[in-house]
Structure 1
Amino acid sequence: MKFAFVILFAVMLTTVLSAAEPVFLQNGVTAHRGNSGEYPENTIPAFQSGIDVGADWLELDIFQTKDGQLVVTHDKTTERVGDKNLDVASSTYAELKTVDVATDFRKRHQLSKAACPPQRMPLLEEVLLLVKQQNKTRVSIQPKADCVKAAVALVKRLEMESWVGFNDGNLNYMTQVKQLAPELPVFWDRGADTDLDADIRIAKQRGFEALVLQFKGITPDKVRKIKAADLEPGAWTVNDPALMQQLLQQGVERIYTDEPAQLLRLK
């Protein structure tokens, strides 16, 4: 009787532990700056929508503020997306929170404030905690400045290694990721005219998982070479359905897009 109880308890414990392990999607759809075709880029609504539509990865950009906060934004200044122009690195987070970073999206899409409410620049920690609430979609962090060490430390503090990867074209930044946290996947972003053979050699040496090429430089032969090296071939940033279909037919396994729902319909 005791033996049977022990077996039952072990089975139940295994089931509970298995249920707690994340079971991430693997569909090759990276929501670029979140679902930025439908929501203001790099905002909480864009990231929530990227999760909701079923992208397996979100992509975001980070800087570090004057007061040491890691913020999610693409540009060095808020001029392009916001209603005022502040330099991110020389501003405090309190100052940056006064910028409505949905301004450009609202104007481009001719939306009212009711249809597109004001948005503030989120902290990286806020986005990570949002992602951690589910176990289907992961997030790839693109450091736009020298803040890799701080970002990796945050990931470790939140115990989010399973949910996080990094991407960028900066070799020093991506190498630093692997030095600090070898378990984190790295998607090394490359240009259209990159030396692919050299990139493959470097990627293998440094333990990177993927090469993501600017879409204009992708050919079937390059895709085959990347796959033969046991790396994931990707393309950035593609929003045209016909081009998405062409790249998928060529064997591209990951596409960065502002239109993740559109890409998912082609899968």
Structure 2
Amino acid sequence: MCAAVYVLSTVTGYVLTSALLMKCPNLLHRRKREPFLSKHISHRGGAGENLENTMAAFKHAVDLGTDMLELDCHLTKDEQVVVSHDASLLRASGINAHISDMTYAELPPYLCKLGVTFQRECFCEGGEDKRIPLLKDVFEAFPHTPVNIDIKVNDDRLIKKVSEMVVNYDRENLTVWGNVSNKIVNKCYTENPRIPVLFSLFRVLQLLGLFYTGLLPFVPLKEQFLEIPMPSIITKIKGPDRLTRSQRLIAWLADT
């Protein structure tokens, strides 16, 4: 009986303490300053309306009033930071080569028509602007627009150059960076902890585990932004009729 009372009181105390700290986290943690708030984010610059990751796409998104531009970075052979989602040029330019094997001057333009990778049977046709831009072009054209930078490859040189560029353009308060890879996020944070970082996939899963076990209030978090694609996006890519019942159930549970 005494053991049961002890266990019950311990569990009750733990639950109440966890609930209190969940409601009032400032009792343990200093509130992080939010450099900006973004509700409308243009993925790859708004890939469903313009050729992805082009200056035309970014300008269109900003003209519409987007809160943030999301883009992807790679490093060329001559160590120029370019804005491109794929490491390979095959899908976007029709050239079977990698960005890292070519100088910036050698990079081909985008194709006139690109498939939107997150929407089934959706294509976007571009205008005159088919050039793969430099990251500095985006910074110079939109000095006051928050930018979400996806570091696409685990390359120390790329991380260092992006950090230096963010500092040189005085954008530490207008930039968030990272990747789905926890290793890349940790390298970004180590390189420049003043630039806010995203939660990696591992850290998102860890965050959920901490939340549902009541341990979240006791764990300090270095990340400041969540970027979580809803798993049901798979229905837009494959189509609901091509998914098994178990796949649909998993997507629904994950979304919920």
Q: TM-score range by the shorter chain?
A: 0.5 to 0.7
Counterpart in the other structure of 1:226: none
Aligned residues: CA RMSD: 3.4
Counterpart AA for 1:210: F
Tell me the secondary structure at the aligned position of residue 41 of structure 2.
strand
Give the corresponding residue for 2:222: 207
Shift of 1:73: 0.4
Which whole-Å CA distance do the structure 2 matches of 1:40 and 1:120 have between them?
10
| Range 42-51 or range 175-184, more displaced | 175-184
Report if aligned partners of 2:176, 2:196 keep a CA contact under 8 Å in 1.
yes
CA contact (8 A) 1:65 1:89 kept: yes
Distance change in 2, residues 1:102/1:184 (3 Å): farther
CA distance in 1: counterparts of 2:231 and 2:134, whole angstroms: 33
Larger Rg: 2
* AA of the residue aligned to 1:104: L
Quote the residue 1:143 is aligned against. 151
Q: 1:83-232, aligned counterparts within 5 Å? A: 83-96=94-107, 98-104=108-114, 109=123, 111=125, 116-132=127-143, 135=144, 137-145=145-153, 146=155, 147-190=158-201, 194-195=205-206, 196-197=208-209, 205=220, 207-216=222-231
Note the alpha carbon deviations across 1:172-229, whole angstroms, 9 max, x for none. Answer: 22122222322222122438x934226996xx64510123223128xxxxxxxxxxxx
TM-score after normalising by structure 1: 0.61
- Report if the CA contact (8 A) 2:51-2:57 is conserved: yes
The separation in 2 between residues aligned to 1:206 and 1:173, in whole angstroms, is 16
Tell me which amino acid in the other structure corresponds to 1:99.
P
Is the 8 Å Cα contact of residues 61 and 74 (structure 1) preserved in structure 2? yes
Q: Give yes or no for contact 2:185–2:200 (8 Å, CA) kept in 1.
A: no
Alpha-carbon distance in 2 for matches of 1:179, 1:117: 40
Do 1:186 and 1:210's aligned partners in 2 also have CA atoms closer than 8 Å? yes
1:58 aligns with 2:79: no
Q: Identify which of structures 1 and 2 has the higher relative contact order when contacts are C-alpha pairs closer than 8 Å and 6+ apart.
A: 1
Structure with greater proportional helix content: 2
**For the Cα contact (< 8 Å) 2:73–2:83, is it kept in 1?**
yes
Greater strand share, 1 or 2?
1
Q: CA deviation at 1:108?
A: 6.0
Q: For the residues of structure 1 that align with 2:88 and 2:210, how far apart are their CA atoms? A: 34
Check conservation: 2:182, 2:201, Cα contact below 8 A: no
Q: 1:239 to 1:126 in 2, by over 3 A?
A: farther
Equivalent residues in 2 for 1:73-92 (5 A)? 73-92=84-103
Q: Distance in 1 between matches of 2:189 and 2:48?
A: 31
- Which secondary structure does the structure 2 equivalent of 1:160 belong to? coil
Alpha-carbon distance between aligned partners in 1 of 2:187 and 2:140, rounded to the nearest angstrom = 23
1:43 aligns with 2:54: yes
**Given the two structures, how large is their TM-score scaled by the length of structure 2?**
0.64
| 2:185–2:197 contact (8 Å) kept in structure 1 | yes
Percent identity, aligned pairs only?
Answer: 26
Gaps of 5+ in 1: 1-23, 218-235, 241-251, 253-267
CA offset at residue 167 of structure 1?
A: 3.2
